A = this chain, B = another copy of it.
Amino acid sequence: FVRLEKIRFVQLFPAFTCVVLQGVQKSFREVIDVSSGDSHQAGIKPISFVRQVLAACLYPQMLEEQNLPLDIELRAHSLLAACEGGSTGSYTDSSGMPRVRQSIAEFITRRDAGIPSSAKDIFISAGSQRGLMVLVKLLVSGETGVRTGVLTPVPCPHTLPMLLDEAGVMPVPYQLMEERGWTMELDELQLALSAARNHCEPRAIYVSNPGNPTGHVQDRKSIEEVIQFAAAEKLILLVDEVYQDSVYRQDRQFISYKRVLFEMGKVFSETVELVSFHSLSCATMGECGLRAGFMEVVNMDPEVKHYVNTMLCTDISTPVTGQLALELMGSPLKPGDPFYDTYTKEILLIQATLVQNAERAWWFLNSLPAISCQPAMGGVYLYPRLHLPPGLIEQAKVEADVLYCQRLLQEEGVLVGAGCQQGGTTRKHHLRLCIQVPPNTLEEVLTRFGSFHLRLMDKFPHSNTKISSFQH
């Protein structure tokens, strides 16, 4: 059927669990998967306002039969009126329902202190990955001999290498500075770019802020530097801002690249091409299963926007339930709405859990020998470094961090991500650990993790190496 030998694939979502656990005597009750962000799977409760509105939109007779809170009833009626034929079962425009795009544009305008956003620059897709795929495919289109490169951070989101590979893009890795809390450094960007220019044509830079998996949140100065760099080198900025509502360090807040760009004056705001991604899955909502995200494009040629739209056409349209949930994310309840208090309580609980977990897991990981973990400022991951004993590294037939993860899964039923999935080549070993889980799940994970790690360290001679945490 297929000329198998010709296909290059990076397999990043291995059906790891079943393979590794085959025939293993299990001492644990169940596998806990904290390798990626999937908060509902982990047991975080959905926001009931969102779910109630969606349920009413799917089954509008609820609106007649039941005594729903007034804000839920009104919202459902108004969303249904925005669906073709008044049904969530109809197709929508490929780039999204006009009402949803408008609502998101207003949300961005509020977020960015009034810097205007326009619905025509918002493209809805079935998750932010899908939007990113469309963009990078446009980047490689019309390649002539020299391959298209995209600067990508090391570590990067574990889904990125496979996406770039499928699109045919060459990743140009730039190193983040772990010792400084995973900051972006101009020197590293320059270094990566110079090295790359011999074998590909770098056309864009990908940034994850708040950082996946690092948890770093850039300050204004750092963002300005990156924008200046992109402007000078004529690179398109592809900014993954999907954790924008999950910044929890007290002295750091989320500032969007777009806002900084516009506050740097017209020389930049009228020239630098920027695409920002956001998603229903990664926000406090955690609605991964509904499959919806959006991108805002800035300074993009109208003709290119036309092609973005055309490429989204092959998906026909984004799932309507997901689009409606995006609308609710864009225009949340306001003080005075009858359901507002419940809504706010639920959101605060999710956010408080995240803060508490970040602190707790950071403290615990750093208390273990041969592990050092930078504190996270935002996002849903911790990314601790393993100072693995040489004896273990020599024994490993796969990457040593993969071996570590396999054993952890076999012995304790805890699934974490191996750092070697995060792009680039490095001799350092890391783990990716999602902390957006209920506190008791986190405790169970840490307990199992701790016993495994201490047992392993007992077996191999090791020095209790640590690198300093940036600050906390």
B residues in contact with A56, CB < 8 Å: 55
Query: Closest residue to A285 on the B side, CB-wise?
Result: B89
**Cβ of A289 and Cβ of B139 under 8 Å apart?**
no
State in angstroms the CA–CA spacing of A345 and B279 once bound together: 40
B88 touches A142 (CB 8 A): no
Q: Decide if A349 is an interface residue (CB 8 Å cutoff).
A: no
Interface size on A, residues (CB 8 A): 80
Measured CB to CB, the closest approach of chain B to A52, in angstroms, equals 5
A162 touches B314 (CB 8 A): yes
Report the minimum CB–CB distance from A171 to chain B (whole Å). 15
Q: B319–A12 contact, CB under 8 A?
A: no
The A30-58 residues at the B interface (CB cut-off 8 A) are: 36, 38-43, 46, 48, 51-52, 54-56, 58
With A6-B141, A141-B6 in contact, is A310–B62 under 8 Å at CB?
no
Q: Are A89 and B290 in contact (CB under 8 A)?
A: yes
Nearest B residue to A87 via CB reads: B40
**A296-313 vs B, Cβ < 8 Å mask (1 yes, 0 no):** 000011011001001101
Q: Which residues of B contact A290 (CB under 8 A)?
A: 88-89, 319-321
A sample of 8 more A-B contacts (CB under 8 A), given A5-B142, A89-B286, is A6-B142, A40-B89, A41-B87, A55-B55, A58-B321, A89-B290, A126-B315, A166-B311
Give the 9 A-B CB pairs with smallest separation, nearest first: A6-B142, A3-B142, A289-B320, A40-B89, A40-B87, A55-B59, A41-B90, A41-B85, A41-B84
| 30 examples of A-B residue contacts, CB within 8 angstroms | A1-B138, A1-B236, A1-B304, A2-B139, A2-B142, A5-B142, A6-B144, A9-B310, A11-B310, A38-B85, A40-B84, A41-B90, A41-B91, A42-B85, A48-B59, A48-B61, A51-B58, A55-B55, A55-B58, A55-B59, A83-B289, A87-B289, A89-B286, A89-B289, A289-B317, A289-B319, A289-B321, A291-B291, A291-B316, A319-B319
